[in-house]
Amino acid sequence: MIKITQNRSGCPISSSLEIIGDTWSLLIIRDLFLQRTTFSEFMNSPEKISSNILTNRLKKLLNFNLIEFHRDHKDKKVKKYFLTAAGIDLYPLIYNISIWSKKHLDIEYNNIAFDWFKENFDKTPSQTIVDDVKTYENFKESTLKNI
């Protein structure tokens, strides 16, 4: 369980937003599901997060045990970030925000989003979530074996 020491109220939504409700935290979690693991890969995301904000959000997500890191055995300076079980449990939220966006926003989606919507068009929400989480868990497991 994540220990919350300071929050505005006992509201579960308010308390959760204290952790993941800023502009960048869910995008970093999204990037981890997209199998981005390093600081430089996060920096290359289309949203162009600044390095000081990225550093701050990574520390925040680490402190709340939503992510962890392992040093690359080939280059100990390189940290590879991964979702913890609590971070992985955020995937249904990311899924639902994506579906809400598709339903209500009139925007042109990038290739990754377009391909994801196309790939999952015929699947039920629960099947998509299970498949995507399993894909991430397999990626994490295989990557950790090689670090």
Q: What is the 3-state secondary structure (H, E, C) of 54-91?
A: HHHHHHHHHHCCCEEEEECCCCCCCEEEEECHHHHCCH
Adjacent-strand bridge partners of 71: 79
Q: Which domain holds residue 131?
A: 12-145
Residue 120 domain-assigned? yes
Alpha carbons within 13 A on the beta-carbon side of 71: 5
Residue type, 22: D
Residue type, 61: L
pLDDT in tens, 69-92: 999 888 889 999 999 999 999 999
- The per-residue pLDDT of the chain, averaged, comes to 93
Length of the chain: 147
Q: How far is CA 15 from CA 21, 23, 27, 42, in A?
A: 9, 16, 19, 26
Residue 45 domain-assigned? yes
Residue 77 domain-assigned? yes
Number of H helices, E strands in the chain: 8, 2
Residue 124 domain-assigned? yes
Residue 3 domain-assigned? no
Please state the domain count of the chain.
Answer: 1
* Structure tokens given for 82: 């991964």
Please state the pTM of the whole predicted model. Answer: 0.91
Residue 4 domain-assigned? no
Residue 57 domain-assigned? yes
pLDDT in tens, 30-81: 999 999 999 999 999 999 999 999 999 999 999 999 999 999 888 889 999 9
The pLDDT value recorded for residue 85 is 98
Here the CATH number for the domain that contains residue 86 is 1.10.10.10
Q: CA 60, CA 10: separation in Å to the nearest integer?
A: 21
